[in-house]
Structure 1
C-alpha cells in the first residue's frame, strides 16, 4: 500500500445547558465515564483522553464536560473529508476521530511528503479543526502513529513519518498496546499477562493470542505491518454540491464573513477535484437574524468569473472583493454555498516552453481580479466587427474570456469602388471562436489606417478646393471608396484619402459622395 496519512481532528461540540452559565477555563468532550478529547488548556492541566471524569475534574476544577453529538461529528468529518479530496480521491473515515488519506500517487505532484502534509495541515486548520498527522506505508500503521501522537506528551518525541515497512515494524513494536483499537475491550487481560507494547503482543504465541483474544488481533497486526491486504471503503463525494455552516456568533459586517466562508470554499475545491470539474460562478446564501420586523430572512451574493476555475485561493480572493463591496441587510447567523455552474476541468499542460494558452489563463485571472475590485462593467475588451465603416469596425464590450467574436471573415481590401455586404445571423453564428488576444486573419489594406480615430468626425473648411485643418492639406493617396450601412438605415458613401500638411503631419480624411463635404476622421502618429 502506498503511504497513507491519517488526520486526527478535534471537533466542535455543542455546550450543554448546565455548562453554558459557568465561567469555565477549559473544555473537554466526555462520555458517561471517560474523557474523549480535551482542549489545549485542559491538556496543559493534565487532562488526557482516557482519563476518568473524576480524575479530570480533580486536575482541572474549572473543566466543563461536553456531551458528544454523533450527528454533528459525522457532518463535520464528512465536510473535512470533502475538503481533503483536493489531495487524493481516496479518503476514508476511520474510528477514533481519524481520517485516512491514500497519498502515495500524489507525492511527486505536491512536492514530496513534507510539502503534502503541510498542505493537508493548512487545509484542516482552514476548516476550523486541530489535527495530529502521521504518515506510514499502511493504513493501520498510520492510524496507530496518529493515535500515539495525539495521545500525549509521553510519545511526543517519537517519529511519526515512516516511509519504509521495515522502519514501520520497529516503530509499531515500541508503541503501547493501549493504542490498538481492541485494547479497551481486552485491557484487563493484556495487563494480567504483562503485555505493555505492541512488540510484546506480537511475540506471544499465535495460538494463545487466538484462544484469548480471537482472530481479529492477529489480522490487525498483519494489516498494520503490511503483511496482509487492508481493503477499505472510500468516501464518495455527493453528485451535487451544497454546503452550509451555522455561525457560532452573529456577524454584522460582510468582511467578517470571509473567515467562515473559507471553510465552504475549501469544501467546494475538494468536491471539484473529486468531480474533475471547474466552476464559473457560485451563490453564497446568507441566513439573517430577524433583528427587526422588516429584515429579510435570507439574502444571497452571486459571484461569477470569466474562465472556469477550481483554485480555492483565487475564488477566495474574488469572494473577499465581493464582500468588501457588500452591505449586510441584517446580522448573519448562517451561510450556505450553492454551486451549479460546473463544467469539465481542462488541466494546464506541462511543457518546456510557455504556451499562449497559459498566458491567456493568467491574464484572464488578472482581469477577473480587476473586475472584482472596480466592477466588471469597467473592464472592457475590443471586438472586431463585420463592418467597413471605421466608426463601426470595432466595439468595446465587457470582458469575457473565450467570448465569441464577430470578426469580419470577408477580406478588407482597398479598391477604387467597393460596397460592403451584410452578413446573415446564421453566418455570424458560424464565426470561429477566438481567444481574447487573437487577431483576425485578414489581409492588410493597401492604404494605411491611423491608430487614432476621432470619436466624431470633424467637419473641415475648404479653401481653394483644398480641405483645411489649421493648415491646407494635400491628398497623398488614390481614392478609397467605402459604401456600407444601407441595411441598418445609417448608410454612408465616402471617398477616403491620406493627406498631409506642409509640416509633414498626416491625417485621414474623407469626402461625402453626396454633398462633397470634407471630414477629418483620424490622425497618424
Structure 2
C-alpha cells in the first residue's frame, strides 16, 4: 500500500474581510477534491490521508500522481518550497508521522519507522513523558518493551496503534464519501451586515462545490445561495426568516470564476 498525508488548513482560524473569524467548512468537505484521484480518502487528526496504490497507474505513476495532487490541493497555511506539505509512506500512520516532522522542520530519521519520535504517533502522545523516563524516545524503543507490561501500564491502544503503524494490523478508517446532492451550510459566528461578508462565505461554498463536481465529473448549471436573517424587523418592516438568490449558467461548469462574478453582482444588489 502507498499512503499520502496532506495537512488540512485549519477550519476555525480563517478570517473574512468584514466579519472577523469565520467558522470553516466541515472537514469532510475539505477532502472532497481528493476523491477525484482515489476513492480511499480519510480524515485522521489534522491530516487528510489518501491510499493511492490502486490508482497510481491511472494517473501515469506515483510521481505523476503526487505532482497532480500538489497542483490541485487547496492552498494551505503551510508550504514546503512553495507548495503544500505532503508526506508518503507504506502505512497511514507513518505518513502522518512524517508529515508532522515536516511541519516541525525536523529531518526524516534514517531508519523508518523504528526511529520516528514517540510524539509523532497520536496514541503515544499522552504517555510521552512516562515513556521518556523509561528511556523510550522512538516507536521502535516502545515496541521493543514487553507487550504485557506496556498493556498493563498504558492500555491496549498504544500497542494496537503501533501494530497499525507497522502494517501488522488493519487500520479501519472511515472513508470520506460524496453526498448524492450538494447541500452545504457555513456558519458565521458574527452578524454579516454587508454584501462582501456574504460574498466571502459564498466563495468558500463555491470552493467546496468545485471539489464535489470534480470528484463526480459533473458540472453545475444552477445553484441557490440562502442566508438566515438574525434580525426580525428593520426600519419597521418585517423580514422573512430566510432570503436567497439563484445563479444559472448557459452550460454546465466546473470552474468557479464565472459563478464568483455572478455571485458578486447579485449580492451587490441585495439589501
Partner in structure 2 of residue 88 of structure 1: 38
- What secondary structure is seen at the aligned counterpart in 2 of 1:146? helix
Partner in structure 1 of residue 70 of structure 2: 117
CA distance in structure 2 between the aligned counterparts of 1:112 and 1:81, rounded to whole angstroms: 16
Q: CA deviation at 1:190?
A: 0.9
Partner in structure 2 of residue 240 of structure 1: 181
Partner in structure 1 of residue 166 of structure 2: 225
Quick check: which one's strand share is greater?
A: 1
Q: Deviations over 1:265-310 (max 9, x none)?
A: 122223334445432211122445655344754433322223333x
CA distance in structure 2 between the aligned counterparts of 1:138 and 1:302, rounded to whole angstroms: 45
CA distance in structure 2 between the aligned counterparts of 1:292 and 1:97, rounded to whole angstroms: 46
Note if contact 1:173-1:199 (Cα within 8 Å) is conserved in structure 2: yes
Note if contact 1:82-1:267 (Cα within 8 Å) is conserved in structure 2: yes
Note if contact 1:6-1:135 (Cα within 8 Å) is conserved in structure 2: no
Distance of aligned partners of 1:294 and 1:222 in 2 relative to their CA distance in 1, 3 Å threshold:
same
Partner in structure 2 of residue 170 of structure 1: 111
Note if contact 1:223-1:230 (Cα within 8 Å) is conserved in structure 2: yes
1:186 pairs with one of 127, 134, 139? 127
CA distance in structure 2 between the aligned counterparts of 1:295 and 1:212, rounded to whole angstroms: 64
Distance of aligned partners of 1:213 and 1:5 in 2 relative to their CA distance in 1, 3 Å threshold:
same
TM-score normalised according to structure 1 size: 0.41
Partner in structure 1 of residue 18 of structure 2: none
- What secondary structure is seen at the aligned counterpart in 2 of 1:283? strand
CA distance in structure 1 between the aligned counterparts of 2:191 and 2:228, rounded to whole angstroms: 12
Aligned-residue CA RMSD (Å): 3.7
CA distance in structure 1 between the aligned counterparts of 2:217 and 2:269, rounded to whole angstroms: 34
Q: Which has the higher contact order (CA 8 A, sep 6+)?
A: 2
Q: CA deviation at 1:245?
A: 1.9
Number of residue equivalences: 250
- What secondary structure is seen at the aligned counterpart in 1 of 2:163? helix
1:252 pairs with one of 182, 188, 194? 194
Note if contact 2:5-2:47 (Cα within 8 Å) is conserved in structure 1: no
Q: CA deviation at 1:139?
A: 0.8
Q: Deviations over 1:35-60 (max 9, x none)?
A: xxxxxxxxxxxxxxxxxxxxxxxxxx
1:266 pairs with one of 207, 226, 238? 207
Structure 2 unaligned runs (5+)? 15-20, 78-83
2:12 is aligned with 1:12: yes
2:218 is aligned with 1:292: no
Quick check: which one's helix share is greater?
A: 2
Q: Deviations over 1:56-104 (max 9, x none)?
A: xxxxxxxxxxxxxxxx78x63233234543443322232x333322344
Q: CA deviation at 1:257?
A: 4.5
1:76 pairs with one of 23, 26, 49? 26
Structure exhibiting the larger radius of gyration computed from Cα positions: 1
- What secondary structure is seen at the aligned counterpart in 1 of 2:176? coil
Note if contact 2:33-2:73 (Cα within 8 Å) is conserved in structure 1: no
Q: Deviations over 1:460-515 (max 9, x none)?
A: xxxxxxxxxxxxxxxxxxxxxxxxxxxxxxxxxxxxxxxxxxxxxxxxxxxxxxxx
- What secondary structure is seen at the aligned counterpart in 2 of 1:268? helix
